[in-house]
Structure 1
C-alpha cells in the first residue's frame, strides 16, 4: 500500500496536469459509473487526504480514488503512449488538450458530490501531510487503545493518516521498540517523539525521488543507495546501526522488519 508521501506526489502530478483545465475526455471503466461523462467541465483541484485522492470537478462533483496495494495514476502528454499496465487494467481516463491521466488497477473509484466527501474520508485521523495535521490529537489517537500493538496502531488510518508498512517499520526502529509492543507501554517522551518524527519523515520525502529514512533532520547519517531504509526490506542483512541481522515476520497480513538487538519488546 502506498505511503502518504507517494500519494501526495501522485496528487501533485495530477493537479499539475488537470487543474484549471477543461476535460476533453472522461471515461470511468467501472460498472457503476461507466455512463458518467464530465467532458466539458473544468477540473478545479486535486487534493490528497491520507492515502485517498480527491479530484474535484466543476458542478460540485468529486472523483474519489484509493490506490490500495497496487493501484496507480499515470500522467502522459497528449499523444504520448500510455505506460502503466495492459489496457484491461485501466479504470479511469481523464484528458484535456495537453495531458491524459490514466488510472490503473484502482480498487476504489467512485464519483460523489463534493459536499459528501466526508463520507469517504471523514473517518481519517489527522493527515501527516495535510493542513489538519495535529500531533497532539494524533498522539491521543495512537494511545487510545493502550493494549494494541504499536505497529497496528500506526497503520490504522483513523489514528493518523498517511503511514504505511514501510514507515511503520522505520518508525518503530527509530523509537527502538518492536512493532508488537503495546502502544501504552511506550514512555511518554518516546511516544511524542515518534509522532513528531513521523511527520518529519513524510515531509522530508515528499520532494525525494527515492524514499530515504536514514538521512533526515533527525537522523543525520549519510548512507549509500542500498542503505536508504533502516530495516524495511533488509531481512537477513546487517542492521545499519549494530550489524545484527534484521529479522522479518508477519504482523497481521503484512511483513514487518526489526532489529532484535536495537529494538526491545515482544516479537512476532
Structure 2
C-alpha cells in the first residue's frame, strides 16, 4: 500500500501536470459518476491528505481518490503510449492540452463538492506531511487505547495520517519494540518520540525515488521485507508474521533480539528498549 511519502509524490506529479490548465478530456469510469463531465474546467490544485488525493477543480468540485494496495496515477504526454495497465483497469482520465493523467485500479474515486471534503478526509488524524501536523495531538490519539498493539495504533489513520506497513515495521524496530507490544507499555519518553521520529522518516523520503530508513547504501530497510536475512544491528534472522485488527492482515517484520515485547511464537518479554 502506498504510504504518505508516495502519495505526496503522486500529488506533486499530478499538480505539476494539471494545475492551472483547462481540462480537455474527462472520463470517470465508475457508475455513480460516469456521466460527470469536467471538460472546460480548470484544475486548481492537487493536494495530498494522508494517503488520500484531492484534485480540486474550478466550480467548487473535488475529485477524491485513494490508491490503497495497487492503485496508481500515471502521467502521459500527447502521443505517448499508456503502459499503466490494461484498459479495463482504467478508472479515471483527466486530460489537458499538454498532459493526460490516467488513474488505474483506483478502489476509491468520487466527485464531491470541495466544501464537503471533510466527509472524505475529516476522520483522519494529523497529517505527517501536511500543514495540519500536530505532534501533541498525534501522541494523544495514539495513547487513547493503551492496550492496543503498537503496530495497529501506528497504522490507524485516525491517529496520525501517512504511516503504512513499511513505516510501521521500521518505526517499531527503531523504538526497539515489537509491533504487538501494547502501546501503553512503552515508557513515556519512548512513546513521546513516536510522532517526531515518524515525521523525520517520511520527510526524509518525500522526494526520494527509492525509500530508505537506514541511511545505509544498498540496505534500504532495517527489517521490512528482510525475513529471513540477518538483522542489520545484531545479525539475528529477521522474522515475519501477519498482524491486523481482524479486518485486514498485513505482513509484519521484526527482529526477535532487538525488539522487546510479545510476538507470534514467543512469550511476552518486558520492554527494555531505548532509541
Q: Same fold (TM over 0.5)?
A: yes
Distance 1:102 1:83 in 2: 10
**Within 2, Cα distance between the matches of 1:174 and 1:36?**
47
Report the 3-state secondary structure (helix = DSSP H, G, I; strand = E; otherwise coil) of the residue aligned with 2:83. Answer: coil
1:235 pairs with one of 204, 227, 245:
227
Gaps of at least 5 residues in structure 1 are 216-222
Residue 191, structure 1, aligned to residue 191, structure 2: yes
Instruction: Pick one of 258, 263, 267 that aligns with 2:263.
Output: 267
Distance 1:85 1:38 in 2: 24
Q: Please state how far the C-alpha of 1:78 moved relative to its aligned partner.
A: 1.7
Q: 4+ runs of 1 displaced by more than 6 Å? A: none
SS at match of 1:172: helix
TM-score (norm 1): 0.96
CA distance in 1, matches of 2:213, 2:88: 36
**2:270 aligned residue:** none
CA distance in 1, matches of 2:236, 2:228: 9
Give 3-state SS (helix, strand or coil) of 1:230's partner: coil
**Other-structure match for 1:224:** 217
Structure 1 match to 2:22: 22
Give structure 2 stretches of 5+ with no counterpart.
265-275
- In structure 2, distance between residues paired with 1:142 and 1:188: 12
> What secondary structure sits across from 1:109 in the alignment?
strand
How far, CA to CA, are the matches of 1:61 and 1:224 in structure 2? Answer: 44
RMSD value, Cα: 0.6
* Structure 1 partner of 2:46: 46
How far is the alpha carbon of 1:207 from its aligned partner? 1.2
Q: Hey, what does 1:34 align to over in structure 2?
A: 34
Partner of 1:218: none
Equivalent residue for 2:271? none
Secondary structure at the residue paired with 2:193?
Answer: helix
- 1:250 counterpart residue number: 242
1:76-225 counterparts in 2 under 5 A? 76-215=76-215, 223-225=216-218
